[in-house]
Amino acid sequence: MAVSFQPVKPLLQTGTNTASRWFSYAGLGIGVLLLLCSIQMYINIQQLLGGNTPRKDGYDFISISRTITNETMGQLDKNLFTTADMQELASKPFVEGVSPLLANNFRFQISGGSIAPFVSDFFVESLDDSFIDTVPTSFTWHAGDGVVPIIVSSDFLEIYNVFAPGYGLPQISEATATQLGLQLICYHPDGTRETFRGRIVALSDRINSIIVPKSFLDWANNRFGTTKEIRASRLYVKTKDANNPDFLSFLQQKQYKVNKDKTKFGRVKQVLQGIFSGLGIFGLMVVVLALMLFSFYLQLMIARSKDNLQLLLMLGYSPNWLSKNVSRRFIPVYLLIVLLAVAFAQGMQWAFHHFVMFDREELSTPLHWSVFVIAVFLVILSLITNYRMVKKLLYKMV
């Protein structure tokens, strides 16, 4: 038959020093509320700023380059990427792949032929095919082939159609562009030139350049170029999240330049996550301080009830049994405090979703499941802390 705690309960002097008890209750409630709200807002930021938004192919592709300053101008060794730079970048857990954008090292011109009669100095680059969004099967070239396939940035076609009327040139549709015969003019170091036929086989929304097959660029650099070593001034990075704070911190640390439009949300997210992480840590500290204050109250209660407790121990009551029952007395209080904190947090999430974010689909009105897990964890933590402390004090009396 289980021994009842009710006859023993009046022997504990709990009516004194109630101020510290209520202060600890209030502190615990404020700390739990602050911690739960910080966790929920942290999750809201992740959902709002694309942390869970699937992207095309599941990856982001962004180009990076070194920041050129007045001190590094003209110093190619400091402005170009090395093999070690690429290996370091590829070794990071937030990077899925790295590919250099290699350019021509000789003079190059492009002409629109008879339909678009213009000639302009330009550049061509090559990139690993897996980093290009549209790669038709015809995008291959072998030495001796008469036509060089080209992938052109969609932005270039748009820019051409903007300035073409001003120069008396015809505007070109995407369908016509892929049928357009281009002339690729490559110059030897002595000024003589060779002309190749080029054909646009695809337009790219990802790459802002003119891409030729790597086999052609390597061959042309060897034939027309003056240097053997070709180093990249730009790298394309494949990552699961271009807004990953760790990724952005690494780029900032290395002073790499990146398209800020693609990462601006990540920088905002980085700041907001820092703010709410700080609030969460502050809330956790308040919870710890509240538990410490409540432990002082328990110590005082046991000290005032020392004679009665020693008498109970002499009568044969187990310290372990007394510790469990003393701790159980506070279960309803802890549950009430945490439930109230969860209810307030739920109300704030509801108001934030409806009145601030106007029911955006990225967010949910109910609290995230992890918030409930943390709430349960805090209740268990409070009970275990009290039980261990009371047990320790009682065993000292034995």
Q: What is the pTM of this model?
A: 0.54
Greater model confidence, 39 or 393: 39
Percent with pLDDT over 70 in the chain? 88
Confidence of residue 53 (pLDDT cuts 50, 70, 90): very low
Query: What are 144-162's pLDDT values in tens digits?
Result: 888 999 998 888 888 888 8
Mean of all residue pLDDT scores within the chain: 81
Per-residue pLDDT, averaged over 171-188, amounts to 84
Q: Where are the beta strands (DSSP E) in 193-260?
A: 193-204, 210-211, 234-239, 256-258
Per-residue pLDDT, averaged over 200-213, amounts to 88
Contact yes or no for 103/122 (Cβ under 8 A): no
Query: What are 260-316's pLDDT values in tens digits?
Result: 656 666 566 667 777 778 878 887 888 887 777 777 777 777 777 777 777 777 777
Nearest to 35 by CA among 285, 273, 271: 285
Q: Is the pLDDT of residue 13 over 80?
A: no
Secondary structure (DSSP) of 90-156: HTSTT--EEEEEEE-SS-EEEEETTTEEEEEE---EE--GGG-S---TT----TT-SEEEEEEEHHH
* Contacts of the segment 360-366: beta carbons below 8 A, 24+ positions apart: 360/48, 362/47, 362/48, 362/52, 362/53, 363/44, 363/47, 363/48
Residue holding tokens 């339909």?
115
pLDDT of residue 1: 53
Q: How far is CA 62 from CA 59, 142, 214, 284, 385, in A?
A: 10, 29, 20, 38, 50
Q: Is the pLDDT of residue 37 over 50?
A: yes
Query: What are 370-382's pLDDT values in tens digits?
Result: 889 988 888 888 8
Q: Which amino acid, one-letter code, is at 120?
A: S
Q: Is the pLDDT of residue 56 over 60?
A: no
pLDDT of residue 212: 93
Greater model confidence, 341 or 176: 341
With H, G, I as helix, E, B as strand and everything else as coil, classify residue 24.
Answer: helix
